[in-house]
Amino acid sequence: MSAPDSPGEGGNTEYGRKSFKRSKSHFADRITADGRDGWPVEAGRYRLVASRACPWASRALVSRRLLGLEEAISLAVVDPLQDDRSWRFTLDPDGRDPVLGIRFLSEAYDAREKDYPGGVSVPAVVDVPSGRLVTNDYQRITLDFATEWTALHRPGAPDLYPQELRDEIDEVMEGVYRDVNNGVYRAGFAMSQEEYEGAYRDVFRRLDWLSERLADRRYLVGRSLTEADIRLFTTLVRFDAVYHGHFKCNRSKLAEDPVLWGYVRDLYQTPGFGDTVDFDHIKRHYYMVHTGINPRRIVPVGPDLTGWLTPHAREALGGRPFGDGTPPGPPPVAERVPESGRPPGVAAA
């Protein structure tokens, strides 16, 4: 993203006088099993750079965990707060990423294309040997994790993008992206009352549709977790903490919809989902970086996070989270979410 108070997430964002627009990712090379774009799947070669605050990057965090790719592609977590050079590695000793040796993600962008005019966004995959950005295509990265990295998946990894369900998954994801994933941003960064109200209506029209769809099924498509659930989860888990107030999507809280609240708690309590969520990073990023919306940078104390641990009863709908597979093991020690980012009483893993 290129606007001063934008989150630098999921591609660039253009702020016109009357509208908000999320543009396509500029660097759309793919890492594939056959290496047809010049980037073959190879264990240890690439580094995923992500922000735990960013819903678009969080898709990659969840997918990587579910598929067991932690040893195949290493992880760099950036500071949730940015300066004028965007995402920075100030959480690491000496403010440098220990693998890439850089202070700012922009350095990997510059190594790929000097004076690139767009913003610096996450998720980003960097080629470790050259230090060059490979891709920031947030829509494609997780699909390729599921379909191109299969030789490096853990035993028992789920099929997150099954061939026989792809048309339905794609259709569901398209509506979720337009009206929910991106819809909350269209509402939050609206430049006119009319634009805001249109986005607001889209968000809740789609949430109502999702609530109806999920009333009698545990997952969005089929009887197991898919890419569609990952993409919806990363917006829903932020809804009450951020989008309800900060982005003015305030018709109702997620916790006031029994179906969606049960669904998102079910996912949060599933290994690979909640153990990637850092509520501290989420709140500090949105409320402190978006100074155009929140100029005093005051971070709300609430909402109460203990509800995330309560029973959801979604098991009664049937289905198996991992299909014929198994849950992922605990996250690597170095990747565990700090206590400050977890609901009270939640162990690191």
Residue of 259, 241, 191 lying closest to 341 (CA atoms): 241
Residue among 138, 177, 185, 243 flagged as catalytic: 185
- 152-188 in b/e burial notation, b at 16+ Cβ within 10 A? bbbeebbbbbbeebeeebeebbebbbebbbbbbbbbb
Residue of 45, 28, 53 lying closest to 144 (CA atoms): 28
Dist. CA 322–CA 305, nearest whole Å: 26
Active-site residue flag, 138: no
Q: Can you tell me whether residue 24 is helix, strand or coil?
A: coil
Burial class (CB in 10 A: 0-12, 13-18, 19+), 311: exposed
Rg (C-alpha) for the chain, rounded Å, is 19
Residue among 54, 177, 196, 286 flagged as catalytic: 54
Active-site residue flag, 54: yes
Q: Can you tell me whether residue 46 is helix, strand or coil?
A: strand
Catalytic residues: 54, 185
